[in-house]
Amino acid sequence: MGRLFGTDGVRGVANADLTAEMALGLSVAAAHVLAEAGTFKGHRPVAVVGRDPRASGEFLEAAVVAGLASAGVDVLRVGVLPTPAVAYLTGALGADLGVMLSASHNPMPDNGVKFFARGGHKLADELEDRIESTYREHASGEPWDRPTGAGVGRVKEYDEGFDKYVAHLVGVLPNRLDGLRVVIDGAHGAAARVSPEAFARAGAEVVTIATEPDGLNINDGCGSTHLDGLRAAVVEHGADLGVAHDGDADRCLAVDAAGEEIDGDQILSVLALGMKEAGTLRGNTVVATVMSNLGFKLAMEREGVELLQTAVGDRYVLEEMKRGGYSLGGEQSGHVIVLDHATTGDGTLTGLMLAARVAATGRPLAELAGVMRRLPQVLVNVRDVDKTRVSSSARLATAVNEAEKELGETGRVLLRSSGTEPLVRVMVEAADLEQARAVAERLADEVKSALG
């Protein structure tokens, strides 16, 4: 039986893998585990619960709220808001727990449950493991110890969450965005209202696309995984830049005035140099993952910025940032963490800070992002294989060693299991695109053969 928790909560096809019963059980388990850990000691516990606009989020939210209240936790329902908004509100309201219902960039049929600890920080692996084991124990028939009477949790709507979060975003910007025209792709997701409102309050002229969620269209041909619509809109409206979110808006990618993509590595480059100039880049260091483009590493070396690399997953970036007291980190996918202002990746904040740098310098985004040159990088997702055997396969280790020798110092290879999807990712970088593609395809065939 595999682990329920991946790198970003529990995910699966809603009403198939992730059922109402599971959502309820996980919530009750989380309440009991946190109570045993002393989180609720001496006071009546409070949880903040939010979701993205997926249709399945409606019944899953109801299940989570029921589970928490049945375990004696008071619940503040904040409705449809980004994941980082739920994290922020958990901290700002002094709540003991935050719960977000979302599957981020995954297709609409999927959904997920993500827990935040007090302060809005992601739960430690050890607590997730205890929640999972407690859930499994009771799912097999062990009855819960439940409060009655006045001991049950109360449920309230917290409608002020939207304005409180937007005010926070605008309030932490180093400068206004007056004079900029920005196109925002909301992915028909959780940022559909928040992001345009925040950019407008910060002074930008805002054009929106994919900001009309109906519960079924989230991430459908739009957002950070489908940039064509944003590219076209930026060029059509003569905008200075475009910002694309994913379904739960914990990430952001951008396009420049010509419609060219600006990925997470380039965004980190721009923000790192801006923060270094302002004296807010603590430790003169950026934290990123092993998936970062080699061009990003070379650019940071040239600009005198230290780069620390972690395993893939924003939780590991965050752990390293906390350990070293660093202020900036992120992933190529657009998860960017500005730890002075957020406890997790925040796509709206990232987009705002990127736009603020353009406004402050008066330089086009393309010029700012030109500090790094992306080396050709090919990523192949290999499905229908046993991803648990990637690290133990001697055959794959040999294939990777041979590929690395072929590429030399101008390239690199990375094989890893996805933490959120049933697949293995093959990533190859090389100075030449055709060489990168050929090596990636050869390794993908090896993965299919060895793990199929």
Question: Within this chain, do residues 318 and 387 fall inside the same structural domain, yes or no?
Answer: no
Question: Within this chain, do residues 229 and 112 fall inside the same structural domain, yes or no?
Answer: no
The domain that holds 128 is classified in CATH as 3.40.120.10
Quick one: pLDDT at residue 139?
87
Quick one: pLDDT at residue 8?
79
pLDDT digits (tens, 9 = 90+) for 25-36: 999 999 999 999
State the burial class of residue 324 (Cβ atoms within 10 Å of its Cβ: 0-12, 13-18, 19+): middle
The domain that holds 444 is classified in CATH as 3.30.310.50
pLDDT digits (tens, 9 = 90+) for 320-374: 999 999 999 999 999 999 999 999 999 999 999 999 999 999 999 999 999 999 8
Q: What is the spatial distance between Cα 228 and Cα 266, in angstroms, rounded to a whole number?
A: 19
Q: What is the spatial distance between Cα 98 and Cα 192, in angstroms, rounded to a whole number?
A: 21
Question: Within this chain, do residues 90 and 235 fall inside the same structural domain, yes or no?
Answer: no
What is the tally of structural domains in the chain?
A: 3
Joined tokens for residue 93: 């309201």
Respond yes or no: is residue 418 known to be catalytic: no
Segments of the chain scoring below 50 in pLDDT: none
Catalytic site residue from 27, 56, 102, 104: 104
Residues 6+ apart with CB under 8 A from 375: 293, 294, 295, 410, 411, 429, 430, 431
Which of 159, 180, 202 is where one domain is finished? 159
Question: Within this chain, do residues 430 and 358 fall inside the same structural domain, yes or no?
Answer: no
Which of 128, 159, 190 is where one domain is finished? 159
Using alpha carbons only, what angle is made at residue 401 by residues 395 and 406, rounded to the nearest 5 degrees?
130
Residues 6+ apart with CB under 8 A from 362: none
Which of 159, 174, 205 is where one domain is finished? 159
Please count the residues of the chain.
Answer: 452
Question: Within this chain, do residues 211 and 262 fall inside the same structural domain, yes or no?
Answer: yes
Using alpha carbons only, what angle is made at residue 84 by residues 14 and 55, rounded to the nearest 5 degrees?
25
Which residue positions form the known binding site? 104, 246, 248, 250
The label of the residue with tokens 């309030």 reads: 171
Question: Within this chain, do residues 154 and 168 fall inside the same structural domain, yes or no?
Answer: no
Cβ neighbours of 236 (radius 10 Å): 11
Is the Cα dihedral 32, 38, 39, 43 positive or negative? positive
Which residue positions form the known binding site for Mg(2+)? 104, 246, 248, 250
Question: Within this chain, do residues 126 and 238 fall inside the same structural domain, yes or no?
Answer: no
pLDDT digits (tens, 9 = 90+) for 252-291: 999 999 999 999 999 999 999 999 999 999 999 999 998 8
Residue 408 lies in domain: 377-451
Quick one: pLDDT at residue 412?
86
Q: What is the value of pTM for the model shown?
A: 0.89
Using alpha carbons only, what angle is made at residue 177 by residues 174 and 180, rounded to the nearest 5 degrees?
150
